[in-house]
Chain A
Amino acid sequence: MKKSVSLLLVLALAMGLVFGQGTKEAAPAAQAGPVELTFWSLFTGGDGEFFDAMVDEFNKSQKEIVMKNDTVKFDNYYTKLTTALAAKKAPDVIVCHQANLLNYVPNGSLLPLDEYVSKTTLDDFQTAPLSACRFGGKLYSLPLDVHPIVMYYNKDILKQAGIDKIPASADEFVAACKTIKEKTGKWGLAIDNTTGTYKAYTLTRLFFSMMIQQGGSFLTADNKKANFNNAYGETALNWLKDMVNKYQVNPNELDYDAAMNMFKLGDAAFYFNGVWATGTLEKVDGLNFAASPLPAFYGTEGWAWCGSHTLAIPVQENQDPKKVAAAVKFIDWMTAHGEMWAKAGHIPTRKSVVEKDAFKALPYRADYAGAAKYAAAPPSMAAWDEIYGTSSDLLEAAVTKNQDAKTALANMEKVVNGIIAKY
């Protein structure tokens, strides 16, 4: 027994060591071969297929740089990234949501890009998404896309209900949805309001957008206090609540997957989600839909919550200038070929891309490209993640349980202010 156990142990350790070898860093001696870069992608599923295809195309299009792309499940991506950054072991290029940049900029984890990106390239970017990547005057990343909340609607249902004008205000939506229910028996709206596998952020995103549309804002301008416990907030929350409880044109206890499936199966007329849904929706046979920027429920400007995927370069222990240059080239190429990324539904950020025929030929995207004009990014503050997640829970409860708007908002204000105070 002893002999065989020891033998097995030795064998096991040997196996472990042989197969467990870390990436042997290529000898630092000058390599004539291509520069090898690493990238961690948080895009899985449909998004992932398009993104991976772009990286493949990049690798094929030139011989100087080889980009190695590893996918990490989006749920765990930031955990892994932050842990790696703590050890200065992050990859050469990373993707980072614009809203998360503030977690990495103040502590010097990202390389300022001002001296690496040419003016011509910078001028090609649309102003708003680009300035969202600037902090303290320095540029820390380049935006790959903007993805606002937009509206999708089922043309067949609208036709069946005899609605020929798309509703353009909160009241018009109420009327239209009631008609749809009467004439077709289908749901007017599929706004998710319950967290399941995916968090029900749509409610918060719509609430956020509606605040701005009415001329208000979610937080005060200095980001120090909540700013939604007022008439604007009540109006918005009541609309969201009433659609579910009073007019019953939006199902209750609807989670993200169910909302999307409901629209896909033609059971709901209006669907609100980020532009990323386009790629999935257009693959559905027999779904006759259209997309448009978020309507101006209130006021005249359709301000819409908007996120943005940006590409950045982490600071390394020994920053290799060749790799930085290669990384910048990669970022440049990816953003300049935004029409490929647009296949996933996202809106490109470079003016040259919007002009390309390939982009113009894509259905639906052109319809909401204009949404970028009224894109409202979330506030840039360290506390935002917690505020966003917590408000989401509270709005979920308010809508699904039909809580009194005034009380719910007062409570939410207290909680949000409490969070801000802790940071």
Chain B
Amino acid sequence: MESNDVFRTKKKISWVLLRILEVFLILCWIFPLIWLVITSLKLEGEVVTKNFTFWPQHPTFANYTKAFTSTYILNWMWNSLVVSTVTMLLTVAVDAPIAYAFAKINFKGKNVLFWAVMAGMMVPFQVLIVPLYLQFNSYGMVNTLTAALLPRVAMPIGIFILKQFFEDIPSALEEAAFIDGANRFTIFHRIILPLGKASIMTVVILSFINAWNDFLWPLIVINDTVKYTITVGIANFQGTQGTQYSLIMAGAAIASLPQIVFFLIFRKQIIEGIAMSGIKG
């Protein structure tokens, strides 16, 4: 048996060591993002050079200025904001009811339908491009933001997440409501949705992130540069015949900034939302 003092010192040392490890891991994890910002503040001549320096010798916002003045970057931000917001609202609006149906309603064909919906996550998007485009063309909707967002609204993973949480809501609550004469719609609005706020928040955020980051489909279906979403717009910073790292990093920083701000503000809700739906996964 160790004396109390030795034991306490050992504990203190291991505590300190663990904290050092954690700090190290945090720095490792955040480093790429720091490097992204540092590179964006350098001129290309400092980036590709034989005299490598960590910090910019002549820090400059030139890359950011170039991005803002020579492109429609503000329009792109706005377009992304519209597309992502509408997608997120529509996604919840369609995902929540069917998730409730899978979770709480025992109807014929439920399992087959569930797997059919899951199957939607399993096909590579490339095979859908041409038929989707032909379809939107027949509606006269090519080159619209609506066309850019609609295919993303049906988000199977959202249903999966909501279903898991809705399943956890005690049936007793529903049964009591039925006895009181309520119908399913009332139960859905008055009981399920309020209780499911956390996981709904999750789906809201995931669909926003997915919509914001969507690249290939918006590129194909939107023609006017001024209507591009931000991911499509900044992709053009990649030159036809050579990579300009500092400019691309600046573009990446600008494109990601709204989401980072959004995340830092709503951090708690986001993480808790995802966490709640992981329960009884």
Contacts and interface: CB of A to CB of B under 8 A. Distances in A.
A/B touching: CB–CB < 8 A: yes
Given A1-B194, A22-B144, A16 B149 contact: yes
B82 A16 contact: yes
Interface of chain B: mostly helix, strand, loop or mixed: helix
A45 to B, nearest CB: 2
Interface string A78-109: 01100110110101000000000000000000
B63 to A, nearest CB: 13
Given A8-B89, A13-B86, A73 B189 contact: no
B79 A19 contact: yes
A22 B143 contact: yes
B126 to A, nearest CB: 9
A352 B244 CA distance: 34
Given A16-B149, A38-B223, A46 B239 contact: yes
A72 interface: yes
Contact of B130 (A21, A83, A260, A265): A83
Nearest to A267: B50
A288 to B, nearest CB: 16
A73 B133 contact: no
B56 to A, nearest CB: 18
A70 B225 contact: yes
B143 A23 contact: yes
Contact of B223 (A9, A15, A19, A70): A70
Main secondary structure on chain A at its contact with chain B? helix
B223 A276 contact: no
B220 A79 contact: yes
B48 A19 contact: no
Interface in B196-242: 216, 219-220, 223-225, 235-242
A48 interface: yes
Interface in B136-151: 137, 140-149
A261 B49 CA distance: 9
Contact of B48 (A23, A73, A264, A274): A264
A23 to B, nearest CB: 6
Interface in A55-82: 68, 70-76, 79-80
A20 interface: yes
Nearest to B232: A73
Contacts of B224: 23, 68, 70
A9 B241 contact: no
Contacts of A277: 241-242
Given A16-B86, A42-B240, A73 B193 contact: no
Contacts of B129: 79, 83
Contacts of A89: 137, 142
A7 B243 CA distance: 46
Interface string B51-88: 00000000000000000000000000001001001100
A43 interface: yes
B33 interface: no
A74 B239 CA distance: 9
A86 B48 CA distance: 42
A86 B238 CA distance: 27
Contact of B240 (A21, A23, A45): A45
A23 B224 CA distance: 9
A322 interface: no
A257 interface: yes
B134 A15 contact: no
Contacts of A15: 82, 85-86
B177 interface: no
B72 to A, nearest CB: 11
B36 interface: no
B278 to A, nearest CB: 24
Considering residues B147, B224, B241, which has the most beta carbons from chain A within 10 angstroms of its beta carbon? B241
Contacts of A70: 223-225
A113 to B, nearest CB: 23
B93 interface: yes
A44 to B, nearest CB: 5
Contacts of A42: 240
Given A1-B194, A257-B243, A48 B236 contact: yes
A261 B45 CA distance: 11
B211 to A, nearest CB: 12
A48 B140 CA distance: 30
Given A76-B219, A87-B133, A197 B236 contact: no
Interface of B: 45, 48-50, 79, 82, 85-86, 89-90, 93, 129-130, 133-134, 137, 140-149, 189, 193-194, 216, 219-220, 223-225, 235-244
Interface of A: 1-2, 5, 8-9, 12-13, 15-17, 19-23, 38, 40, 42-48, 68, 70-76, 79-80, 83-84, 86-87, 89, 91, 197, 257, 260-261, 264-265, 274, 276-277, 280, 285
Given A19-B82, A23-B143, A45-B241, 7 more contacts: A2-B189, A45-B244, A46-B239, A70-B223, A76-B220, A79-B129, A264-B48
